[in-house]
Amino acid sequence: MRQLLIGLLLIGFAVTAQAGEDSSGSAVIVKIKDFKFHPETITVKKGTTIRWVNEEKRQYHSVWFEQLDKEETDYFFPEEYTEKTFTKSGKYPYRCGPHEKMKGLVIVE
């Protein structure tokens, strides 16, 4: 029973990763909460904008595509966000600048 429940949760998580658009349909949402990106891995199509929303109570974060030699985003605080539009296919690992253990991956098809 426990394995079935875990499987259902993972399926639901995958659906959220694909369909987490904001209410205007203009950006896919990645939430930041409990020092994690939710979802940690997300697959999108070329031309998609991802919006990272800080849902922490008191903590600031950033989104840094360090391997692309891009600058770290400005820190953003609770209820703030940052966005990036992906125009090329590929795999884009990123992390939070001040919190090295917070990692994510954007896959663009």
| CATH at 9 | 2.60.40.420
Number of domains the chain is built from: 1
Of all residues in the chain, the percent with pLDDT exceeding 90 is: 71
pLDDT band at 68 (very low <50, low <70, confident <90, very high): confident
Q: Per the confidence metrics, is the pTM higher than 0.85?
A: no
Average pLDDT, the chain: 84
How many whole angstroms separate alpha carbon 48 and alpha carbon 30?
Answer: 13
Please give the biggest Cα pair distance in the chain.
46
Q: Which domain holds residue 104?
A: 2-108
Asked if the model's pLDDT at residue 19 lies above 90, the reply is: no
Taking residues 15-39, report their average pLDDT: 74
- Among candidates 71, 68, 59, which has minimal Cα distance to 99? 59
